[in-house]
Amino acid sequence: KAGVTQTPRYLIKTRGQQVTLSCSPISGHRSVSWYQQTPGQGLQFLFEYFSETQRNKGNFPGRFSGRQFSNSRSEMNVSTLELGDSALYLCASSLGTGGGNQPQHFGDGTRLSIL
């Protein structure tokens, strides 16, 4: 069974640009969550999608947005990039929505560097 796939693995952008990251969950998983990981802040929750609907949202500005398609694949978009957006962005999928007792399965992330 294929795991969670995130593309691209590495991305370099400049301030002010926008970026779109992609995540393909494990087959059959309907929940996709996004996290930002930085050395200083650790893992921070961005948002969760379940059946194409945003179910939960973390404390990030509106520049961070996402969506989920009918095949459960998800995209995350960051507009007007800032230096502080440099991070590892992780996607995780699970069978149930966030309140369930199932573990999350993570992709290997997209390393975003802002110059």
Partner 1 sequence: AQSVAQPEDQVNVAEGNPLTVKCTYSVSGNPYLFWYVQYPNRGLQFLLKYITGDNLVKGSYGFEAEFNKSQTSFHLKKPSALVSDSALYFCAVRDGLGGSYIPTFGRGTSLIVHP
> What residues make contact with partner 1 under the rule CB under 8 A?
4, 6, 42-43, 45, 48, 55-56, 58, 90, 92, 97-99, 101, 103-109
Report in angstroms how near the CB of residue 38 gets to partner 1 at its nearest: 11
- For residue 66, what are its two tokens? 């996402």
CB nearer to partner 1: pick between 66 and 107: 107
Give the total residue count for the chain: 115
Report in angstroms how near the CB of residue 16 gets to partner 1 at its nearest: 28
CB nearer to partner 1: pick between 72 and 94: 94
Q: Which of 71, 65, 72 is nearest to 21 (CA)?
A: 65
Q: What is the CA radius of gyration of the chain?
A: 13
Tokens 């795991």 label which residue?
A: 3
